[in-house]
Chains A and B, each alone.
Chain A
């Protein structure tokens, strides 16, 4: 891992540790302004990844978080030292919020040795275990039981830490989700499952809307079947997310019982780097949701309350651009992984590689 002091480029966005003290003033306007900055960083980062992809500098699949920023930003605000976070492949925002270096995050997408996973995971498999980020998984629903097992381990080890487990609306229809939710509910009866499920209902799994994927479209209510308390939150409204996040994380921490939140949100970007969006949704629909863009919404509130003015907002946006320019330059200029990396990390222990060196 590159040195600690390389973190966060020009330091324009706080690491999580710094914002920790402010937890008690979770919704104070200053704190909201800080979170606004974080959301702007994520947005700017994601736009840069889209450019990188179009330029052919980022390969594989690319899933951006544009439109959903308030969800992770709100919930990670309630993150405490030792907590764990796990999600699927739409994962760029998480290390950024947990204090990973945006440069290393971008470098991973560029497949460089300076990347979070040394260039071996790419966009879908960001990991930063030191900061509590357990990935970055590519099979829809596959990480859900893994997160539930982590929630068990946290109680087994007698901690009051929790596992924030993010999943998409599409993942709610797959087997492992149901098996894992059942286990979480079961173990939670004895206070043995500190898992907070956060269903990011962005209305679509690729091109399939929630309504076309299940006859029972109330996703939070699905958790009733497993004895898991649940609620919904407006995932576009950071303040609403914050209120919910701080309250429910504390509850899971205290009880060791799982809890589920369905965050109603929207992916204004294409599913991957590009998609056939007009086949499955209308321009009108996207436009309607854009009016409730989480960054725009917060910006509006902060302007109205006088926390920020237009000039300051322009400044923040410029700062973010500058930061991300540096981030992108770093990723572009970093070296590719040395070819020996091909053979490392296959196994833990003495023999990392079992094949024949060709």
Chain B
């Protein structure tokens, strides 16, 4: 299977679907002539022309709203947020228009819309450009929210997102556009609502999504090497719909769990994971579930501070050892 970058896999999904389906259009700031600030859409203007690769002025609320209108008319717009931080300007459309209209019209319309862009921190962009928005968008019925972390999943989930008749918030791993992985040629989909077992193990379950999945994999290596602990790593990858089943099954096997998230601790995805486990697998637990989260601060700039603001290998390993009641050094 060919190796491709996350960026290439994403571009491939969109351009292949644009070849197949005329109703798919791209819009966003500097996605055409400039090629996209992350080069995700590079070359697509030449291939598909300005009516399908629409360079917009800087007006997130406005152009996202127009995409909602296009979607209601049967088009399938994919809106790029230059970074997801700017989606705050369009929150009114993303949470209070797109996911509500089907319901309040009594099912008369569909809104097949994708809002995509880089999400999460890790590249020293400091406070206003560092957010992980999974739980924020995950709160709203009518929206679907996904956060693929591998090149394989980003292509397969983008194809699912475009074909979904509902608005999808597609949170890309902003720090990982250059990472490589195996990506099948052609058309395949990764369905929403199904978590991925990124690594199998019997001793403890590490549950995460986005960039933190890679961290959990590193921790799993470390635990294996240092203590012969076999950690299972779950990549949630879809937040809404949410795959409770995979978490519960894993915890029934390992009896111990740590939920890891880049976002802030309170009201986050990890809290949800913890609640689900205590609700549905309480009797299987051998220890309280631990959460590892970002520090309760706006994203800092300095490299050392930024590293300290996000979950670290040490923190996750320590949490795993705690739930295993191992000596923590």
CB pair B105–A129 under 8 Å, yes or no, is yes
List the B side residues contacting A157 at CB < 8 Å. 73-74
How many cross-chain pairs have Cβ atoms below 8 Å apart between A and B? Answer: 157
Contact assessment for B72 and A354 in the assembled complex, using a CB-CB cutoff below 8 Å? no
Contact A142 B106 (CB under 8 A): no
A183 touches B62 (CB 8 A): yes
B93-101, B197-205, B228-236: which lies at the A interface?
B93-101
CB pair B69 A149 closer than 8 Å: yes
Given A129-B105, A135-B101, A182-B57, is A347 in contact with B68 using a C-beta cutoff of 8 Å? no
Of the stretches B107-115, B210-218, B290-298, B303-311, the one at the interface is B107-115
Residue of B with least CB distance to A186: B57
A345 beta carbon closer than 8 Å to chain B = yes
Contact between B104 and A125 (Cβ–Cβ < 8 Å)? yes
> Is B83 on the interface with A (CB-CB < 8 A)?
no
Q: Which residue of B lies closest to A117 (CB)?
A: B106
Q: How far is the CA of A218 from the CA of B166 in the complex (A)?
A: 40
CB of B65 within 8 Å of the partner chain: yes
Min CB distance B96 to A, Å, is 6
Q: Which of the residues B97, B106, B240 comes within 8 Å of A127, measured between beta carbons?
A: B106
Binary interface encoding of chain B residues 18-53 relative to chain A, with 1 for a CB under 8 A from any of its CBs, else 0: 000000010000000000000000000000001100
Instruction: Determine if B62 and A179 form an interchain contact, defined as CB atoms under 8 angstroms apart.
Output: yes
Find residues 105-130 in chain A having any chain B CB closer than 8 Å to their own CB. Answer: 115-122, 125, 127-129
Contact of B166 with A139 in the complex, beta carbons under 8 Å: no
Query: Do the beta carbons of B57 and A121 come within 8 Å of each other?
Result: no
Which residues does B use to contact A, with CB under 8 Å?
Answer: 25, 50-51, 56-57, 59, 61-75, 77, 92-93, 96-97, 101-112, 141-142, 144, 164-166, 240-241
Query: Contact at B141–A148, with CB atoms within 8 Å?
Result: no
A156 on the B face (CB < 8 A)? yes
In the complex the two chains form, is A147's CB within 8 Å of B69's CB?
yes
- A145:B64 contact, CB within 8 angstroms: yes
B73: A residues at CB distance < 8 A: 84, 149-150, 153-154, 157
On chain B, the residues within 8 Å of A186 by CB distance are 57
Give the complex CA separation of A162 and B229 in angstroms: 65
Nearest Cβ on chain A to B280's Cβ, whole angstroms: 11
Contact pick for B66, options A137, A180, A347, CB 8 Å = A180
Question: Would you call B63 and A179 a contact (CB within 8 A)?
Answer: yes
Q: Is the CB of A142 within 8 A of B107?
A: no
Q: Is the C-beta of A349 less than 8 angstroms from some C-beta in chain B?
A: yes
Q: A176 contacts the other chain (Cβ, under 8 Å)?
A: yes
Return chain A residues, CB-CB under 8 Å to B50. 190
The contact sample of 30 A-B pairs, CB cut-off 8 A, is: A118-B107, A120-B105, A127-B108, A129-B108, A136-B105, A142-B93, A145-B61, A146-B66, A146-B97, A148-B62, A149-B66, A149-B70, A149-B71, A149-B72, A150-B69, A150-B70, A152-B66, A153-B74, A156-B51, A157-B74, A179-B59, A179-B65, A182-B57, A183-B57, A190-B50, A344-B107, A345-B106, A345-B107, A346-B102, A348-B102
| Complexed CA–CA distance, A250 and B106 (Å) | 32
Contact among B75, B93, B108, B240 with A145 in the assembled complex (CB-CB below 8 Å): B93
Assess whether A120 is in contact with B104, with CB atoms less than 8 Å apart. yes
Asked whether B97 lies within 8 Å of A355 as measured between CB atoms, the reply is: no
| In-complex Cβ contact of B106 among A118, A145, A151, A179 (8 A) | A118
Which of chain A's residues have a CB closer than 8 A to the CB of B65?
Answer: 142, 144-146, 148-149, 176, 179-180
Contacts A120-B106, A176-B61, A349-B166; is A145 near B66 (CB within 8 Å)? Answer: yes
A134 close to B (CB within 8 Å) = yes
Please report the C-alpha to C-alpha distance between residue A143 and residue B69 in the assembled complex, in whole angstroms. 9
A192 within 8 A of B: yes
Minimum Cβ distance to chain A for residue B318 (Å): 34
Q: Is the CB of A153 within 8 A of B69?
A: yes
Residues in B whose Cβ lies below 8 Å from that of A118: 106-107
- When chains A and B are docked, how far (Å) is the Cα of A179 from the Cα of B89? 11
5 new A-B contacts at CB < 8 Å, known A135-B105, A149-B68, A347-B142: A125-B105, A127-B108, A143-B97, A183-B63, A192-B51
Closest A residue by C-beta to B74: A153
Chain A residues with CB under 8 Å of B56's CB are 183
Q: How far is the CB of B232 from chain A (nearest CB, A)?
A: 25
Mark A155-186 against chain B: 1 for CB-CB distance below 8 A, else 0. Answer: 01100000000000000000110111011001
Q: A254 within 8 Å of B by Cβ?
A: no
Contact check: which of B57, B74, B165 meets A348 at CB < 8 Å? Answer: B165
Please measure, in the bound complex, the distance between the C-alpha atom of A43 and the C-alpha atom of B104, giving whole angstroms: 25
In the assembly, what is the distance between CA of A162 and CA of B25, in Å?
Answer: 20
